[in-house]
């Protein structure tokens, strides 16, 4: 069976739905009810109604067909519940419950695996947080605590539920959009490889980001990823790289983990981009989802703060990009509108009194230069002269078809505008180093696309 029933079910049963706020089975039902348009069946033998929905003692008591079951009850009961799902002919089941191999209960997990295999029911989990997409929100986090990101083009797979959910909150805070989030937990059935294969065909997904502690089947993963990365980028952040980290992975997920070198070599072979830190997973995913590749390593920097420009130059050197010489025509064109105290070389320093018009002229001039393949725009929005027109200026720069990243950081005033810029498809970074590194990843992905093998 394909994974479609997980992502586009017509009806969902929540096994372990609860009337008690803060309990997982309550929060999941609540968030599902507020997002999902299909039929919802709360399963709870001790009540007749939860959140104005009719409750059933078991899935077997529901007359209508059920596409997807979500189980949030103690581990000891899960196998029996899955048997009931099989009997009910449910084809897809997400097991939130923990208490399996991650705490050493390997036999319990094996039993569950065998039951589901025989019953031909597909499983995500156990020990996971399920799926999040705009109209299918089964997170147990209250919305007032964990914001949901807007719809967008990153799909995100996480072997750690906590890691994944926090990332969603950060993405929401920064205004970065998500297509699908899948927390895979102990992955006794559906794993990272099957999911990336599914997401390859998903038109809403332009970049796949993965937090991974182990790979179920290395060979299959490499083969599949190799095919996909020629079409859309995959970024992976691997947890458990050091000796002690590997030990902890075995304890956390109950799965085997190989050495960091083996993983890095496999990722490289498969054209998968590896993030070295959690910040990078996020930084890289959004630029890959939104911007075209950087065709060579020649970039320009446009800034209103000289110090930021210098830090960006250092970063370019570090990450293999060249702060290229601007053509004579470009310099002439810059001289037409730049004040005498501005700098007409790369990095172009518009200085601290720059307004949006000066940015517009400078960005367009520089993007027109055939020596320049991409631009890092550093805009300190706190400067009194710089109005909100800068947002539209950045949007209009997209027509050049060259990648752009922005460095802008601060508190509420700036964050609000950064979210708007993100919403227009231009990734924003809090430091110039991170904005430069993001551009370097577009260069790296460009090389992956060109590689013949």
Q: Which of residues 188-217 bind a copy of itself (CB under 8 A)?
A: 211, 213
Secondary structure (3-state) at 398: helix
The reply to whether 309 sits near a copy of itself by the rule CB under 8 A is: yes
| Choices 63-71, 85-93, 390-398, 432-440; region in contact with a copy of itself by CB under 8 A | 432-440
The reply to whether 347 sits near a copy of itself by the rule CB under 8 A is: yes
**CA 4: distance to chain centroid?**
20
Tokens found for residue 373: 């393949």
**Residue nearer to a copy of itself on the CB measure, 38 or 150:** 150
The reply to whether 110 sits near a copy of itself by the rule CB under 8 A is: no
**Residue nearer to a copy of itself on the CB measure, 73 or 293:** 73
| d(C-alpha 346, C-alpha 84), whole Å | 67
Tokens found for residue 213: 């502690």
Tokens found for residue 127: 């020990």
Task: Map the footprint of a copy of itself across residues 56-95, applying CB under 8 A.
Answer: none
Closest distance of CB 303 from a copy of itself, Å: 8
| d(C-alpha 97, C-alpha 29), whole Å | 15
Please state whether 102 falls in left (phi above 0), alpha (psi between -120 and 50) or beta. Answer: alpha
Task: Map the footprint of a copy of itself across residues 367-386, applying CB under 8 A.
Answer: 380-385
Secondary structure (3-state) at 388: coil
The reply to whether 310 sits near a copy of itself by the rule CB under 8 A is: yes
| Torsion angles phi and psi, residue 378, rounded to 5 | -100, 115
The reply to whether 359 sits near a copy of itself by the rule CB under 8 A is: no
Contact 24, 165 (CB under 8 A): no
User: Helices (H), strands (E): how many in the chain?
Assistant: 16, 20
**Residue nearer to a copy of itself on the CB measure, 83 or 241:** 241
| d(C-alpha 375, C-alpha 323), whole Å | 10
Closest distance of CB 250 from a copy of itself, Å: 10
The reply to whether 218 sits near a copy of itself by the rule CB under 8 A is: no
Which of 311, 317, 327, 411 has its CA nearest to residue 365?
Answer: 327
| Choices 77-85, 238-246, 363-371, 391-399; region in contact with a copy of itself by CB under 8 A | 238-246
- Residue 68 forms beta bridges with which residues? 12, 92
Of the candidate residues 6, 56, 132, 140, the single one contacting a copy of itself (CB under 8 A):
140
The reply to whether 306 sits near a copy of itself by the rule CB under 8 A is: yes
**Residue nearer to a copy of itself on the CB measure, 133 or 434:** 434
User: Between helices 389-396 and 412-423, what is the axis angle to 10°?
Assistant: 30
Task: Map the footprint of a copy of itself across residues 409-428, applying CB under 8 A.
Answer: 409-415
**Residue nearer to a copy of itself on the CB measure, 53 or 313:** 313
The reply to whether 20 sits near a copy of itself by the rule CB under 8 A is: no
């Amino acid at each position: 069976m394909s994974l479609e029933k997980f992502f586009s079910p017509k009806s969902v049963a929540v096994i372990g739905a609860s009337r008690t706020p803060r309990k997982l089975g309550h929060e999941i039902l609540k968030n599902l009810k507020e997002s999902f348009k299909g039929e919802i069946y709360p399963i709870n033998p001790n009540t007749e109604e939860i959140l104005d929905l009719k409750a059933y003692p078991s899935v077997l008591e529901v007359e209508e067909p059920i596409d997807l079951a979500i189980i949030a009850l103690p581990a000891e009961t899960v196998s029996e519940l899955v048997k009931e799902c099989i009997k009910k002919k449910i084809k897809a089941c997400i097991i939130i419950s923990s208490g399996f191999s991650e705490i050493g209960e390997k036999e319990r997990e094996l039993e569950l695996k065998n039951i589901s295999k025989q019953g031909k029911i597909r499983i995500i989990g156990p020990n996971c947080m399920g799926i999040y997409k705009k109209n299918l929100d089964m997170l147990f986090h209250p919305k007032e605590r964990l914001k949901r990101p807007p719809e967008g083009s990153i799909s995100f797979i996480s072997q750690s539920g906590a890691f994944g959910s926090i990332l969603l909150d950060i993405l929401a805070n920064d205004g970065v959009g998500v297509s699908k989030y899948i927390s895979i937990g102990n992955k006794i059935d559906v794993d990272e490889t099957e999911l990336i294969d599914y997401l390859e065909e998903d038109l809403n997904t332009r970049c796949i980001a993965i937090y991974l502690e182990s790979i179920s089947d290395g060979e299959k993963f490499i083969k599949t990823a190799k095919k996909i990365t020629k079409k859309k980028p995959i970024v992976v952040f691997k947890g458990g790289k050091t000796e002690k980290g590997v030990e902890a992975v075995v304890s956390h997920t109950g799965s085997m983990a190989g050495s960091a070198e083996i993983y890095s070599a496999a990722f490289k072979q498969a054209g998968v981009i590896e993030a070295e830190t959690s910040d990078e997973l996020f930084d890289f995913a959004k630029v890959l989802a939104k911007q075209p590749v950087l065709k060579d390593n020649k970039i320009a920097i446009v800034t209103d703060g000289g110090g930021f420009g210098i830090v960006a130059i250092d970063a370019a050197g570090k990450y293999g990009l060249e702060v290229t010489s601007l053509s004579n025509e470009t310099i002439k064109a810059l001289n037409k509108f730049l004040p005498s105290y501005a700098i007409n070389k790369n990095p172009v320093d518009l200085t601290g009194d720059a307004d949006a018009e000066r940015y517009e002229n400078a960005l367009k001039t520089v993007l027109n230069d055939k020596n320049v393949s991409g631009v890092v725009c550093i805009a300190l929005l706190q400067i009194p002269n710089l109005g909100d027109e800068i947002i539209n200026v950045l949007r209009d720069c997209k027509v050049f078809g060259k990648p752009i990243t922005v460095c802008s950081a601060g508190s509420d005033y700036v964050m609000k505008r950064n979210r708007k810029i993100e919403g227009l498809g231009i990734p924003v970074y809090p430091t110039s180093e991170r904005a430069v590194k993001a551009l370097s990843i577009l260069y790296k992905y460009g090389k992956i696309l060109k590689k013949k093998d």
